[in-house]
Amino acid sequence: MNLPTTLLKALALAGIAAGATAAPLDALMEAMPSQRYGEGFIEFGPDAMNSTLDVFKVRSQMGITDNTGNYQGFTLRAGRAFGSGGWLDGAYMRRNITVGADQYPVTSWRLGAQQVLRENAAAGSALALRGSVWGNHSANVTKSNFSLDVYNTSIYVDRVSAIKPKDQHYQVDLVNSWYGSQWSGSVFAGFGTGRVTIPGVEADFAGGTYAYPSDTVNAFTAISGVSEHLGTLNYRLKTQQLGLNASYMSGAWMYRAGYVMANMRRPAVDSAVQSLGNTPYQRNQTLIGEVAYKFTQTTHAYTRVQVMQRQFLSEIPFLYNSITSPIFGVKYGVVSAGLGFSF
């Protein structure tokens, strides 16, 4: 199986697909994870971003002087080989994103299974089909003390809280990998479908507290343009994604880099964003770099850096709507470190 043929297949698949956003760490996808981890693995480590970790001073360039953009959390991942060329894996993440006085606590999860469809041992290549389901949820996400733009008019809002927001996605990927004695490389394309659900909203405005949805029109929802904003909180989304990655081993050191581009389609949301005078964002690019060191054949430590063009646009979809869309025009990154065990 040669690279041009497989790449054309991947591009064709992406061209006809309408699908799911990029699941966490999709940029590192490969056809045969057992080549890296053996029969199975478990990995755990903290994830963070703050002014100390921002070595490129992106925050100061944006004029951020407080704790806005701070990130704290952890990632637990595990995987296990099964059958002939099969692989099961899962991930659980806890995140807390700080924006001024507001905290955005988010729980993320993923379950995936893949099967090698064709393997060419002589060429060191393999083609696999992967299916996954993943999502995010939170008890409460609040935005405080801000101006809501509605039809060239700004209204001051003390607080808007999304109650029990969540998103869930179903995703299919085709991935082709090549393995050498010290290096490996992969290309992939994926599609699927997803849904964002926010059952209820509470707003503090002009001295009163108002709920949405409500049996009656209240002082907040009656404002021209507010109903359009609230109408973008629940929606379905589709996207295509393409990506590639490469790795290299030298003694006990392991190096990996991966890239994924996701193109999201949210017609109902983006048309509302545009009509309200804001810029809709459909595309996100993510770059991941990782350095790992093997202490033994079964134990390794890793440091991972993830940089996103449009923050968590494709990774935590429920955060995106017409109210929050302006904050997605900037880059964001997360640094991770931890331990892994293979078996």
> What CATH number does the domain containing 321 carry?
2.40.160.40
pLDDT at 98: 85
The whole-angstrom separation of Cα 294 and Cα 297 is 7
CA atoms within 13 A on the CB side of 247: 25
Q: How much is the mean pLDDT over the chain?
A: 87
Q: Is the pLDDT of residue 189 over 90?
A: yes
Domain span at 221: 3-342
Over residues 297-305, the mean pLDDT reads 96
Among 67, 73, 72, 74, CA closest to 99: 67
Tokens 């209240």 belong to which residue? 218
How far CA 310 is from CA of 95, 280, 324, in Å, comes to 17, 11, 12
Specify the pairing of strand 235-250 against strand 208-212: unpaired
Model confidence at 152: pLDDT above 80: no
pLDDT band at 7 (very low <50, low <70, confident <90, very high): very low
Q: Cα(243)–Cα(77) distance, rounded to whole angstroms?
A: 21
Total domains in the fold of the chain: 1
Q: Please give the Cα distance from 323 to 155 (Å, whole number).
A: 12
User: Rounded to the nearest 5°, which phi and psi values hold at 291?
Assistant: -125, 130
Query: What letters, b where the CB count within 10 A reaches 16 and e where it falls short, cover 9-43?
Result: bbeebbeebebbbbbbbbbbbbbbbbebbeebbeb
pTM across the whole model: 0.87
Q: What percent of the chain is predicted at pLDDT more than 70?
A: 88
Task: Provide the pLDDT confidence category of residue 239 given band limits of 50, 70 and 90.
Answer: confident
Residue 108 and residue 312: Cα distance in Å, rounded? 12
Reported as a single tens digit per residue, the pLDDT across 30-64 is 999 999 999 999 999 999 987 666 655 666 655 56
